[in-house]
Amino acid sequence: MIRRAFHAAFPPVAVVVALLAAWQAAVWAFAPSEFLVPSPMAVARALRDGSGQLLAAARLTGLSAAAGFALAAGIGIVLGSVLSASRFLMRGLYPIATLLQMVPLVAIAPLLVVWCGYGARTSIASAVIVSLFPVLAATLDGMRSTDPGLVELFQVNRATRLQRWWKLELPWAIPSIVTGLRIAAGLAVIGTIVGEFVGAFAGEDAPVGILITSALRENRTDMVFAAVFVASAVGFALFGVVSLLGWVLLRRWHASAR
Amino acid sequence: MNLGAAEHHDAAARPAAAQQSGALRRIEVAGVGRVFEDGFEALASASFEVPAGSLTVLVGPSGCGKTTLLRMIGGLDAPTSGAVRFLGDAGTLPPPRTAFAFQEPRLLPWRSVAANVALPLELAGVPRGERLDRAASMLERVQLADAGRKLPGQLSGGMRMRASIARALVTEPELLLLDEPFGALDEITRHALDDMLLSLHARLGMTVVMVTHSIVEAAYVGSQVVVMAPAPGRVVATVRPGFAQRTPALRATPEFAAATAGIMRSLAQAMVPAGGAP
C-alpha cells in the first residue's frame, strides 16, 4: 500500500523538485531583477508572509468559483436533459449554444459588470458562462447514447417519460456528465478570475483577481506568483471534489472508475 | 429449503392468475403480414393458433420474420395485413398482461440484480417492500436467490439471462414473449436454461411464445413448433413434438432425433428455390 503510493508519487515529485532547483539555480546564475523573475525562494516567502491575505483570497475566489460551477452544473444537466428529450429544441438551441460558446469571455466580461454590477455576482456569472457548455454537451451526448435496447425495455414496461429520464437516461449519462464536470471545474476558476479582473473590488479582503492586479501595480511579481499558485490550488480542489464524486457514483459499475 | 413458502405463494397466486387467464382460450394469428416502410416484405402471411397455456416456439433461419411476428403478437409492431386476436369463450378479448425477454439480458448495470428484477413493478408504482419481496421470490425460482445483491457485471452470461427471465416473470404475466433468449449462450448453458424454462412454465402456467433459431431447442421445449422460412417470411409447418416426459436425457433418444429431423425436413423443403431443384 505505502510502497504503491510511493511508486505513484515519486516521479511527479522528483520532476517538480528538479524543476524548482533548476529555476532557483538559473535565478542565482543570471540574477535577473526580482521584478522580472522572482526565485522560488522569494515566492515561498511571499506565500508565507502573505498567507492571511492569500487564504482570504482563496476563500473568496473559491466560493465564487464553486457557486458558478454549481450553477453551471445544474443548468447544464437540466438543459442537456431537455434538449435530449426534444429533437426540435436540440436542433434549434444546440447550434446557438455552440456559437455562443465561441464568444470570447474576456470580450464580454465588461458587459457583465454593466449587468451584474461590481462584486461577486459578476465573477459568478463569468464562471457560469465558461463552464456551462462542457456540462451541457456532455449531458446531451451521454443521454443521446442511451442503449436503445434499454429504452425499449422501459417502453415495453410503460414507463413514463419522467421515469425513463430519472431511472435510465440520467444514470446512463453519469460517466459522460462527470467528464464534463471535470472540465468545467477548471474553467470555473478561470472564469471567476477573469470576472474579478474586470468587476471585483477590494473590501476588507480581496479575491485572487484583485490580489494579482494590485500586486502587479506594486511590482510585487513574487506575490503574483503566489496568487497564481493559490488560484491553481483552488482549481485543483474543485477538480478533486468532482473526481471524488464521480468515483463514489461510478466505482461499483463503471469501467472508468476502476 | 424454502420450498414450502414458494408453494404457498403459488397456491395464493394461481387462482388469481387463473381467473384472469381463464378467459383467454387461444391466440389466433390470422393471415398476419408485415411490409416495412421501405417496401421489404418481412412476413408474407402467417396463420396458426397458440392455445392458452401452451409453449409455442417459432423456429427458422434469419430473415424468416419470426422476431417481427413476435413483436406483433406483443403489440410492439402492427401487421400490415391480417390480425392477431386474443380469444376467450365469448369472443375477442383485450391483449393479456404481457412480458418480454430479449436476446440480450438488458439489465441496468448500476442496479443490483434484485432491483433490476423489481424494475417493472417499480415502474408500475408497486410499493418498495412488496416489489422487493416479489423480486426475491422470483429470483429463487430461477435459482438466483443468493445473487440478489450483486451487480449484473458480477454475474455470468447464463445468470444474467436468468435474471432477465425473472424480471419478465415478476409481473406474473399471462403471456410471456421470448426473443431468442438463450441465443448468445453456450450450448450446455442453453440446455440447462431450457430445462429451467420448462419447469417455470409447468409451475406458473402462463402462455409462452418463444423465438429461436435452434432446432434442438425448439423440439425440446415446444409443445407446438411453428416452422418458418425466409424470402418472404412465412409459416411452412406446425409440429407438435408431444413427448411424454422432457428430461435432459430425452435429447439423446431416437424419438427426439426423429422430431428434429422432421423440423429440418420441413425447412429443407421450404428453402429449395422454386424450380431450382434438378
**pLDDT score at A79:** 92
- Asked whether the beta carbons of residue A252 and residue B110 sit closer than 8 angstroms, the reply is yes
Q: Are B76 and A156 a contacting pair at CB < 8 A? A: yes
**Which pLDDT score is estimated for A241?**
93
pLDDT value at B276 more than 60: no
Please judge whether B151 and A158 are an interchain contact, meaning their C-beta atoms are less than 8 angstroms apart: no
Does the residue A164 lie in any domain?
yes
Helix (H) or strand (E) holding B84: strand B81-88
At B1 the pLDDT is 36
Whether the CB of A150 is below 8 Å from some CB of chain B: the reply is yes
Amino acid letter at B80? T
Q: What is the CATH number of the domain that holds A126?
A: 1.10.3720.10
Residues with Cβ < 8 Å from A144, sequence gap 6 or more?
A84
Residues of B within 8 A of A149 (CB-CB) are 102, 104, 106
pLDDT at B273: 58
Q: How many Cα atoms occupy the beta-carbon half-sphere of B191 within 13 Å?
A: 10
Is A42 domain-assigned? no
The answer to whether residue A33 is domain-embedded is: no
ipTM score above 0.85? no
Tens-digit pLDDT profile for residues B171-226:
889 899 999 888 888 888 888 888 888 888 888 888 999 999 888 888 888 888 88
Q: Are strands B81-88 and B98-101 parallel, antiparallel or unpaired?
A: unpaired
A contact residues 207-226, partner B, Cβ 8 Å cutoff = none
* Chain-chain contact of A253 with B151 (C-beta, under 8 angstroms): yes
Please check whether residue A144 lies inside any domain of the structure: yes
Above 90 in pLDDT, residue B24?
no
Please give the interface size between A and B, counted as residue pairs whose CB atoms are below 8 Å apart. 39
Tell whether A29 is covered by a domain: no
What total of structural domains would you count in chain A? 1
Distances (CA, A) of A55 to A38, A42, A50, B53: 21, 18, 8, 75
Give domain status of residue A44, yes or no. no
Give Rg (Cα) of chain A.
Answer: 22
Residue of B nearest to A170 (CA): B110
- Report yes or no: A159 at the B interface, CB cutoff 8 Å: yes
- Residue B211 φ then ψ, to 5°: -100, 135
Mark out the alpha helices in chain B (DSSP H runs). 3-21, 66-73, 113-117, 119-123, 128-141, 157-169, 187-204, 215-221, 254-271
List per-block mean pLDDT (blocks of 10 residues) for chain A, which spans 258 residues: 80 89 88 82 89 90 94 94 86 83 83 85 92 93 92 90 93 94 93 88 81 89 91 92 90 77
B87 touches chain A (CB under 8 A): no
Does B106 contact A153 at a Cβ distance shorter than 8 Å? yes
Which residue segment(s) compose the domain that A136 sits in? 52-252
- Of B74, B7, B79, B119, the closest CA to residue B209 belongs to B74
Report angle CA B120, B122, B126 to the nearest 5 degrees. 110
Residue A9 in domain: no
Contacts of B198 (CB under 8 A, 6+ apart): B55, B221, B246
Q: How far is Cα B30 from Cα B23, in angstroms, rounded to an integer?
A: 20
pLDDT per residue as tens digits for the range B233-246: 877 778 787 777 78
Of A175, A69, A173, A200, the C-alpha closest to A130 is A69
Beta strands in A68-110 (DSSP E): none
Instruction: Tell me, yes or no, if A157 comes closer than 8 A to chain B by beta carbon.
Output: yes
Structure confidence at residue B9 as a pLDDT band (50, 70, 90): very low
pLDDT tens digits along A220-241: 888 999 999 999 999 999 999 9
Chain B residues closer than 8 Å to A151 by CB? none
The SS3 assignment for B23 reads coil
List Cα–Cα distances, A141 to A72, A91, A109, A135, A155, in angstroms. Answer: 17, 14, 29, 10, 21
Q: What is the pLDDT of residue A142?
A: 94
The whole-number average pLDDT for the span B107-127 is: 93
Q: Is the CB of residue B278 less than 8 Å away from at least one CB of chain A?
A: no
* Domains of chain B listed by start with CATH number: 25-97+175-271 (3.40.50.300)
Biggest CA–CA distance in chain A, Å, is 75
Residues of A in contact with B110 (CB under 8 A): 171, 252-254
pLDDT of residue B20: 47
429451467: which residue's cell? B196
Instruction: Give A36's DSSP letter.
Output: T
Share of chain B above pLDDT 70, in %: 90
Grid cell of A231 as nine digits: 488560484
Q: Does any domain span residue A111?
A: yes
Å between A75 CA and nearest CA of chain B: 25
Mean pLDDT of chain B, nearest integer:
82
